[in-house]
Structure 1
Amino acid sequence: MTIYLATTNAGKLRDFAAIAIQHDATVETLPGLASIPEAPENEPTFEGNAVSKALYYSSRAPGLLVLADDSGLEVQCLNAAPGVRSARYAEDQHFPPTPGSTKDERNNAALLHALDGIPENCRQGRYRCVLALARDGELLQTAEGSVDGVILQAPRGENGFGYDPLFFLPELDQTMAEVSIEQKQRLSHRGRAFESLLRQLDT
């Protein structure tokens, strides 16, 4: 079974591909994705965006199993922000970019700015991911995964992407950007959601 991922994010593709192998499946980037106009992400929930994207891209890739995800970080003391706007948080906050900084670095800096002065015991966060699988514009399956952590006051680690350098896992005494690839695949919100989806398909 081959599942085609509707994203060009190399980190997501790597995480999904490693898990798929354990279920006799493979994950590849959706063919011709670069030539397909980007799907709108206007829904107010992770599930809404994931389903919308899966239906959109699968209707443009006849016969293929197309997987779309929407995921992000919810911080308790920020009323669950950045939430569905995690990838565009700095832009939404009109947070100025530092010359040479990446989009991830700008988002991390914007989050730290929003949490300035907030003590550690109030910095709980949750990574959430919703996956949607579709074929020919028809929804086949959805799954969700989450992981709880604490938002640090400075980034640590080089292995992750997004908010991983700030997302601290107390039980491991490491950030999501410090854990091994194998640990991340097992513990991450994305990994848990994909495991759940593949188990549903296995049965």
Structure 2
Amino acid sequence: MTLYVATSNPGKLRDFSAAAAEVAGTNVRLETLPGLATIPSPPEDEPTFSGNACAKAAYYSLQSPGLIVVADDSGLEVDALDGAPGVRSARYAEDAGFAQDESLPLDERNNRCLLESLKGASEADRRGRYHCVLAAARDGEIIAVADGTVEGTILTAQRGRSGFGYDPLFFLPELGKTMAELEPATKLSFSHRGRALRRLLQTLS
């Protein structure tokens, strides 16, 4: 079975492919959706990860008849911020109007904005989670939905260089490391995307 992933993000594709390879008893291949770069992006204006994932999966599957298309929505939820950045994780600094050097990479701007938002927050309030929802659709119909989460704490300074997004700030107490400090094989066991994909594959099988 081939699943066509509606993302060009190399970090996401890496997580998904590694998770698929780890699931015993499945013969699944993940590929980027053909012609993705030429398909206009749909609006991501749903208030939940599930809503956005389902909307994107249905939309992209209508552009590729007969294919099983997988789309995700994922992000960081922080207790002290009432669940923000949430569905706006990729646009957090932009939404906040955070004054900073626009020449910096987007991930760096978002991380700096998050640190500013959490100034003065107690360690308990800095708890949060990565949350991913995956939806699979064919010909506009949703055929499976699954989610995955991983709990952690937001640090006061970035650590590590291996991840992307908020990984340098997302600390896993049980390992004593941030997501950006983990070896790829270890990160796979804790990845919210990996957990969501494993559950999705179980549903589809």
TM-score, scaled relative to structure 2:
0.96
Amino acid at match of 2:81: L
Provide the alpha-carbon RMSD of the alignment: 1.0
Map 1:19-34 to 2 at 5 A.
Answer: 19-22=19-22, 23-34=26-37
Post-superposition offset of 1:83: 0.5
Q: Structure 1 residue runs of 4+, over 6 Å off?
A: none
Deviation digits for residues 99-139 of structure 1 (CA, Å, limit 9, x no counterpart): 53100000000000000111222200111111000011111
Partner residue, 1:13 = 13
Alpha-carbon distance in structure 2 between the residues aligned to 1:171 and 1:21 = 25
> Could you list the per-position Cα deviations for residues 25-77 of structure 1 after superposition, in whole angstroms to 9, with x for gaps in the alignment?
11111110010000110100000000000000000011111000000100001
1:1-203 aligned within 5 A: 1-22=1-22, 23-98=26-101, 100-202=103-205
| Identity among equivalent pairs (%) | 60
Counterpart contact for 2:15–2:191, Cα < 8 Å: no
- Give TM-score, length-normalised by structure 1: 0.97
Q: Partner of 1:133: helix, strand, or coil?
A: strand
Give the gaps of 5 or more residues in structure 1.
none
Distance change >3 Å, CA 28–CA 120, structure 1 → 2: same
Task: Answer whether contact 2:60 2:69 (CA < 8 A) is retained.
Answer: yes
CA distance in structure 1 between the partners assigned to 2:43 and 2:103 by the alignment? 28
Give the aligned length: 202
Secondary structure of residue in 1 paired with 2:181? coil
